[in-house]
Amino acid sequence: MARPSQPLISVDALVTAALELIDESGDFSLPRLARRIGVSQSSIYNHVSGREEILELVRGRITRSMPLPPPAATWDEVLRYEIRAYRDSFARHPRAAPLLVMQTVRDADVIAFYERLSSALEEAGFGGAEVASALAVIDSFAIGAALDLAAPGNVWAVDPGSGTALARAVDDASRLADRAGTAFEFGLEILLDGLRNRAARI
Amino acid sequence: MARPSQPLISVDALVTAALELIDESGDFSLPRLARRIGVSQSSIYNHVSGREEILELVRGRITRSMPLPPPAATWDEVLRYEIRAYRDSFARHPRAAPLLVMQTVRDADVIAFYERLSSALEEAGFGGAEVASALAVIDSFAIGAALDLAAPGNVWAVDPGSGTALARAVDDASRLADRAGTAFEFGLEILLDGLRNRAARI
DNA sequence: ACCTGAACACCGTTCAAGT
DNA sequence: ACCTGAACACCGTTCAAGT
């Protein structure tokens, strides 16, 4: 074929196809991506530096259009709002979360999200290193909540009728309509409560 | 060669070699594993069902010999002790953490760890579904802390001198002797504080 | 029972050749 | 500038053939 007068690939189409593959199968590969767009594998490299950049663009797509907190919100309301919005974004594409863990965040919108968290934490009175610590905790929680959504049906290979505390917990939780959502809201309030307590002691 | 009178491979040696490869390079593959033991790639399947089982055995090896909390400890002391022991185990092999996320926990010792957490949470007065929620939060935090140890030098691609709250936090944290450890202890106390507050309201 | 080598169906990335 | 096909150096798993 050689060069067409109109490009066959756009970065946007690439990201859309990658996200579709991730939603369907939990992963994507360049051969399958190329097949879906109807193009040769190697031509992808004319638009993107490789797999890692595609993943980073997927991160951007997922978190795009996160709503901003209302301007009058207090620092803890800002945190609740932002963390929930972040988690909601990943709830729409849970299987993307595991792929994005351990990759440096480059997407400007996601950086802006962490910047808003940092500002709220400074407003709470936390000093620089504490802001970083709090950020790490929030990040763990947010990533964990996203991973939780993509988790295998049973996180633990535990015997249902074994009468242990873990079996009881797993069993009771399985009867909830939205197990992961319930756990997220429970954890969010605990986290905010702990942060408020700590801020009050500064 | 065919079958030797003494087996060339033991599961223990397999796990040791896999963990060495992970510590050195952040990952392992069956070809490299076989090369390290001096054996053919396919013979590994005589001892183990595949890559996933090896990873689960690595999880067991890492968390083996986690110390038990003192018998007289209160429920929150138990949680602090256990979560710290879990995190310390992964601190010795940080690069293993990303590989174990999203894989069902089958190792009996790790199941026992979560059982001890569940018991402590029941003792605190939490009901079944709440125990599961608290467990999910603790799990997120513990996994996040382990991932944090393996994280790339910069989690966020942020401009150092940009004067933003995020840049300040990253900068201040980079001056700490043990950034990840500081964040872990900060988060652990916040988490326990939040759980205590919640338990008191039951 | 336990090893080997060959085979299979995958990966991500590079590069010369085309227009 | 943008596409193609071939090539390279990897993966995990299976299986017939050996002793």
How crowded is residue A91: how many other Cβ atoms within 10 Å of its Cβ?
A: 17
CA distance B44 to B8: 10
Contacts of B131 in chain A (CB under 8 A): 165, 168-169, 172
Residues B85 and B183 in one domain: yes
Contact A78, A196 (CB under 8 A): no
Residues A44 and A74 in one domain: no
Mean of pLDDT values over B38-54: 97
Domain membership of residue B143 (yes or no) is yes
Residues A88 and A187 in one domain: yes
Residues B77 and B24 in one domain: no
Give the pLDDT confidence of B114-127 residue by residue, as tens digits.
Answer: 999 999 999 999 99
pLDDT of residue A5: 77
CB pairs under 8 A between A and B: 224
Strand C nucleotides below 7 A of a protein CB? 1-7, 10-19
Domain membership of residue B175 (yes or no) is yes
**Six-digit token pair at A148?**
């939780």
pLDDT > 80? residue A125:
yes
Residues B39 and B71 in one domain: no
Domain membership of residue A1 (yes or no) is no
Contact A142, A87 (CB under 8 A): yes
Nearest CA in chain A to B94: A102
pLDDT of residue B47: 97
Contact A172, B129 (CB under 8 A): yes
Contact B116, B77 (CB under 8 A): no
Residues A181 and A123 in one domain: yes
Instruction: Flag whether residue B79 sits within 8 Å of chain A, measured between CB atoms.
Output: no
Residues A108 and A175 in one domain: yes
Domain of B128, in residue numbers = 67-200
Domain membership of residue A53 (yes or no) is no
B105 φ, ψ (degrees, to nearest 5): -75, 120
A79 pLDDT tier (thresholds 50, 70, 90): very high
What residues have CB less than 8 Å from B22, skipping those under 6 apart?
B28, B58, B93, B95, B96, B99
Residues B30 and B120 in one domain: no
B89: domain CATH number is: 1.10.357.10
pLDDT of residue B169: 93
Mean of pLDDT values over B58-69: 94
pLDDT of residue B162: 87
Interface of B with A in 131-190 (CB under 8 A): 131-137, 139-141, 143-145, 147-148, 150-152, 154-158, 164-166, 168-173, 175-176, 179-180, 182-184, 186-187, 189-190
pLDDT > 70? residue B2:
no
**Six-digit token pair at A168?**
């009881």
SS3 B69: coil
- Rounded to 10 degrees, what is the CA torsion of A143, A145, A147, A153? 170
Strand D nucleotides below 7 A of a protein CB? 1-7, 10-19
B1 pLDDT tier (thresholds 50, 70, 90): low
What distance, in Å, lies between the first and last C-alpha atoms of chain B?
Answer: 67
B7 pLDDT tier (thresholds 50, 70, 90): confident
How crowded is residue B146: how many other Cβ atoms within 10 Å of its Cβ?
A: 27
Give the pLDDT confidence of A43-75 residue by residue, as tens digits.
Answer: 999 999 999 999 999 999 999 989 999 999 999
Nearest nucleotide relative to B45: CA against C1': D13
- Pick out residues whose CB falls under 7 Å from strand C: A 2-3, 28-32, 41-42, 45, 50-52; B 1-4, 7-9, 39-43, 46-47
Residues A41 and A71 in one domain: no
CA distance B4 to A199: 66
Mean of pLDDT values over A74-85: 97
Give the pLDDT confidence of B143-160 residue by residue, as tens digits.
Answer: 889 888 888 667 888 888
Classify the C-alpha dihedral B18-B19-B22-B23 as positive or negative: negative
Residues B101 and B171 in one domain: yes
* Cα angle value B88/B95/B176 (rounded, 5°): 60
* C-alpha distances in Å from residue A113, one per residue of A108, A117, A198, B12: 9, 6, 23, 45
Number of domains in chain B: 2
Nearest nucleotide relative to B40: CA against C1': C4
Q: Do B156 and A98 touch (CB under 8 A)?
A: no
pTM: 0.92
Domain membership of residue A119 (yes or no) is yes
Q: Mean pLDDT, chain A, as a whole number?
A: 93
A40: domain CATH number is: 1.10.10.60
pLDDT of residue A161: 82
Domain membership of residue B90 (yes or no) is yes
Q: Do A194 and B194 touch (CB under 8 A)?
A: yes
pLDDT > 70? residue B37:
yes
Q: Measured from the CB, is B6 under 7 Å from any atom of strand D?
A: no
CA distance B185 to B80: 10
CA distance A146 to A137: 14
Which single residue is written with the structure tokens 């106390």?
A: B189
Residues A178 and A88 in one domain: yes
Contact B120, B75 (CB under 8 A): yes
Q: How many Cα atoms are found within 13 Å in the side-chain-facing hemisphere of A17? A: 19
- Give the nearest partner residue to A129 out of B102, B135, B172, using CB atoms: B172
- Give the nearest partner residue to B187 out of A128, A137, A147, using CB atoms: A137
pLDDT > 90? residue A159:
no
How crowded is residue B46: how many other Cβ atoms within 10 Å of its Cβ?
A: 11
Which single residue is written with the structure tokens 């936090």?
A: B169
- Return the axis-axis angle of helices B11-25 and B51-63, rounded to nearest 10°: 80
3-state helix, strand, coil in chain A (%, to 5): 70, 0, 30
pLDDT of residue B3: 67
Domain membership of residue A56 (yes or no) is no
* Cα angle value B158/B162/B165 (rounded, 5°): 80
Domain membership of residue B57 (yes or no) is no
Name which of A89-93, B1-5, B70-74 the model is least confident about. B1-5
Contact A86, A113 (CB under 8 A): yes
Give the pLDDT confidence of B85-140 residue by residue, as tens digits.
Answer: 999 999 999 999 999 988 889 989 999 999 999 999 999 999 989 999 999 999 88
Residues A88 and A139 in one domain: yes
Mean of pLDDT values over B28-32: 98
**Six-digit token pair at B100?**
């174990």
Nearest Cα residue to B106 out of A152, A65, A185? A152
Can you list the pairs that A49-53 forms with residues at least 24 positions away whose Cβ atoms lie under 8 Å? A52/A103
